[in-house]
C-alpha cells in the first residue's frame, strides 16, 4: 500500500509517500520559520496561507521523487489534529479532495501519534511495549505504549511544554525564533558555572508530571541580575544558555528513567522537535545504560513536523481497515487516549 502523507498542523508543510512493502519512498518539508521569525512565533493566518500555497507543489515533488503518478497511490493520510485549525483545514481539505478524485480511502491522523511512531521508520526500532517521551513546542508527555492505539498517559507538563520553554528563554536573551536550536547552539560555547545552577523542577517529589514555569523564572532572574551588574555579555549568555539547557535535559532524563522503572520496561523512544537535541540524546543514552535500558529516536529531519510520520501512522490504521468519511473532522485538541487500538499492526 502506497500512502501519501500530508502534515500541516502548524508552520511546516510536510509531504511524503510511505510504501508498506518498501518503506519511505520520498519526503519533502517546507519550513515557514523565516516567515514567522520576525513575529517571534507562529502567526496562524500566515501559516494557513502558506500551506495552501505549498501543499500541491510539494505533492508533485514527492511523486516525482518516488517515481510515481498520483494514480498509483493507494490512500491519503492527513493530519486532522491537534494543531492550528486553519492550518489543519488546509491540508485536510486538499488530502480529502485528492483521495475523492482518485477514488481511494483517506484517513485523518493524530499529529502526536505520528510523532510517537516516527522512530518506527528507522532500521533500529523498538518492540512494544515501550515508554514514549513526546517533547515538542506544544507537548511534553510521557506515555506508555502497549500497541498502536493503546496509550496510557503517565505524566505531562502542567504549564509550558519543554520546546515552548526553550523558545521563551531564547527570546529573553535576544535569540531568534525558534529558540530550541538557538539555545543549543549557543550552549556549545558555554562553561558550567556554580552560580548558574537552575532547579530541576518537580524531580524532588513523586510523579511523572513536568513544570517549566519556575525554571523560566530562575532564568529570567539570572538575566536581570546580569543586566543590573552590566555583565550580560556574550560569554555570559552562552553560560546561562548551557545552564538552562542542562536543567531542561536533566529534568526530562530523570522523569524518563523514573517512568521506565515504575512501569518495569527497558525501552524508551523520544519524539518531537526537542528530541533532536544532541545533549538530550547523549544524556538519555548514558543514564539509561545504567539500568540496562535502550533509547530510540528518529533521524533529525523526522523529529520536527513531517509528512513521513503521518504517512506511516496512517498506513498502519488504513491496513486495519480504518478510514475517514467525506466530512472533515478537525480537532485543535485531541487526547491520545481517545484513539482506537490496532491489534497486530506492524
As annotated, the binding site for Fe cation includes 111, 115, 305
What is the DSSP secondary-structure string of 302-325? GTSS-HHHHHHHHHHHHHTT----
Residue set of the binding site for substrate: 134-138, 167, 180, 277
List, as one string, the DSSP characters of 98-154: HHHHHT--EEEEEHHHHHHHGGGGSSS-PPSSEEEEEESSS-EEEEEEEETTEEEEE
Beta bridge partners of 268: 131, 295
Sheet holding 140-147, edge to edge: 150-156, 140-147, 130-135, 267-271, 294-297
Kindly report the CA angle at 153 between 288 and 313, in degrees rounded to 5? 85
Residue 189: name the closest of 238, 130, 126 by CA: 238
| Cβ contacts of 265 within 8 Å, gap of 6 or more | 129, 130, 131, 144, 293
Binding site: which residues? 111, 115, 134-138, 167, 180, 277, 305
Residue with cell 523526522: 302
Q: How far is Cα 115 from Cα 309, in angstroms, rounded to an integer? A: 6
Main-chain dihedrals φ then ψ at residue 298, nearest 5 degrees: -85, 160
Place of cell 498517559: 153
Among all chains, which residue has been given the C-alpha cell 502542567? 158
Sheet holding 2-7, edge to edge: 23-31, 12-19, 2-7, 75-81, 106-110
Q: Which residues contact 162 (CB under 8 A, 6 or more apart)?
A: 135, 136, 140, 210, 212, 248, 252, 274
Residues whose CB is less than 8 angstroms from the CB of residue 221 and which lie 6 or more positions away in sequence, other chains included = none
Dihedral sign for Cα atoms in the order 176, 177, 181, 187: positive
Cβ-contact 215, 174 below 8 angstroms:
no
Unique residue bearing C-alpha cell 500512502: 3
Amino acid at each position: 500500500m502506497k500512502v501519501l502523507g500530508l502534515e500541516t498542523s502548524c508552520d511546516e508543510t510536510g509531504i511524503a509517500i510511505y510504501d508498506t512493502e518498501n518503506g519511505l519512498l520520498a519526503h519533502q518539508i517546507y519550513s515557514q520559520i523565516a516567515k514567522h521569525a520576525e513575529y517571534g512565533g507562529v502567526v496562524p493566518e500566515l501559516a494557513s496561507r502558506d500551506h495552501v500555497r505549498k501543499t500541491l507543489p510539494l505533492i508533485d515533488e514527492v511523486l516525482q521523487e518516488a517515481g510515481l503518478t498520483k494514480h498509483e497511490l493507494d490512500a491519503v493520510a492527513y493530519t486532522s489534529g491537534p494543531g492550528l485549525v486553519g492550518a489543519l483545514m488546509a491540508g485536510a481539505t486538499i488530502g480529502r479532495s485528492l483521495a475523492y478524485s482518485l477514488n481511494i480511502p483517506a484517513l485523518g491522523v493524530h499529529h502526536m501519534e505520528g510523532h510517537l511512531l516516527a522512530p518506527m521508520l528507522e532500521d533500529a526500532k523498538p518492540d512494544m511495549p515501550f515508554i514514549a517521551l513526546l517533547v515538542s513546542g506544544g507537548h511534553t508527555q510521557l506515555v506508555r505504549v502497549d500497541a498502536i492505539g493503546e496509550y496510557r498517559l503517565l505524566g505531562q507538563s502542567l504549564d509550558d511544554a519543554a520546546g515552548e520553554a526553550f523558545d521563551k528563554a531564547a527570546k529573553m536573551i535576544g535569540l531568534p525564533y525558534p529558540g530550541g536550536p538557538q539555545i543549543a547552539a549557543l550552549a556549545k560555547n558555554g562553561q558550567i558555572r556554580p552560580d548558574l545552577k537552575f532547579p530541576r523542577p518537580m524531580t524532588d517529589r513523586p510523579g511523572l508530571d513536568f513544570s517549566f514555569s519556575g525554571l523560566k523564572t530562575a532564568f529570567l532572574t539570572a538575566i536581570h541580575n546580569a543586566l543590573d551588574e552590566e555583565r550580560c555579555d556574550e560569554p555570559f549568555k552562552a553560560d546561562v544558555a548551557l545552564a538552562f539547557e542542562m536543567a531542561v535535559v536533566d529534568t526530562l532524563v530523570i522523569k524518563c528513567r523514573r517512568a521506565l522503572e515504575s512501569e518495569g520496561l527497558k525501552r524508551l523512544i523520544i519524539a518531537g522537535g526537542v528530541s533532536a537535541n544532541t545533549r538530550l540524546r547523549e544524556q538519555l543514552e548514558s543514564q539509561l545504560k545504567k539500568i540496562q535500558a535502550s533509547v530510540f529516536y528518529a533521524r533529525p529531519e523526522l523529529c520536527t513536523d513531517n509528512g513521513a510520520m503521518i504517512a506511516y501512522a496512517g498506513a498502519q490504521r488504513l491496513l486495519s481497515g480504518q478510514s475517514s468519511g467525506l466530512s472533515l473532522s478537525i480537532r485543535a485538541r485531541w487526547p491520545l487516549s481517545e484513539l482506537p487500538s490496532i491489534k497486530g499492526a506492524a
